[in-house]
A = this chain, B = another copy of it.
Amino acid sequence: MKSKKIAIVGASGYSGEELVRLLLHHPFAELTMVTSRQNVGQTLAQIFPKFASHPKSRALRFVEPNAEVLASAADVIFLALPHGVAAEFAVPLLQAGRTVIDLSADFRLKSAATYQDFYNHEHPAPDLLKKSVYGLPEVYREEIKAATLIASPGCYPTSILLPVIPLLRAGLIRPDGIIADSMSGVSGAGRKAEVDYLFCECNESVRAYGLPKHRHLSEIEEQLSLAAQTPVTIQFTPHLIPVNRGILTTLYLTPTEPFADLVGASRVAEKIAAAYQAAYASEPFVRLLEGKALPDTKNVTGTNVLEIAWRLDPRTGRLIVLSAEDNIVKGASGQAVQSLNLLCGWPETTGLL
């Protein structure tokens, strides 16, 4: 395989750190530059002692982020920056002919108006929205291979879209009335010095937040609408729980074919099982659980795998689907590397198993 030069902009947050980990061990990715305003001049090993055993971590020093310098240092640039800021780098890097994989929300939506509605500022580069590809490989594999601007999905959206899209596409669930109830580890809040995320404020605590209009709704609903070919509005409640890593999402869905007993449920179950098999049986990073097993974040932490299980409830006529992922891996940096593999023509699982 031909190797590529890779840079990470914003490499000191949790997603940036995970990108560093994945790329240091990636056989074809040559990490050539890492940026971080607060750590300029320090080596990777100094900031992240856990990588210190890797020789490159002692050689590579954080630099100021600069688009021109980045364009000369790398073929593919990961942006692990806040929304709004990411676009400032994406524009010149794309103009310089580089490939950009953006982990922020800046290029996830097709509609600049929706962006403004949810992010409360004008879109910084609306022309690029047509160009960008939503980096969910299980859904947009071919588009990703050809893309130069990847908008890597959010953590909550990944945990909701992968379980729901196959059912919507197969017409097995109604596009209205969808409820997604999610629990996330604290790394989702980023490595920010805020009192709310101090150990003592999160430990022995559970709380909902961002009610009822969390920003991730924008990309979730846009993608579900595309899958359903009709506008979809969902209910989404995120909760903060005291774990470092992991998102568990519980989805409440209504099958299009009603059922009120075990016989009816069994008929519907066959179709759901078939839809999931068709969608994911050969996907390396989606694990369909069998038997009595239910998703548990501890079984996916540190991996790029999303687990799915589901149950039909004859008492209520509903379909309950559960998913578990590592919010920083499949929900962010691992999925971004999965896209990198695709667009570089490397085996999709390289560096992710």
A interface residues, Cβ below 8 angstroms from B: 14, 25, 46, 49-50, 52-53, 179, 181, 183, 185-187, 191-195, 197-209, 211-213, 233-235, 237, 239, 241-246, 248, 250, 252, 284-285, 287, 289, 291, 293-303, 305, 307, 311-313, 315-316, 318, 320, 322, 324, 353
Contact = CB atoms under 8 A, between A and B. Distances in A.
Contact of A199 (B197, B293, B315): B197
A316 B233 contact: yes
A208 B305 contact: no
A49 B307 contact: yes
A119 to B, nearest CB: 16
A217 to B, nearest CB: 8
Contact of A237 (B46, B246, B320): B320
B200 A244 contact: yes
A193 B193 contact: yes
A195 B199 CA distance: 10
Contacts of A203: 186, 199, 203, 242-244
Contact of A181 (B197, B250, B294, B297): B250
Contact of A212 (B49, B207, B313): B313
A315 B248 CA distance: 24
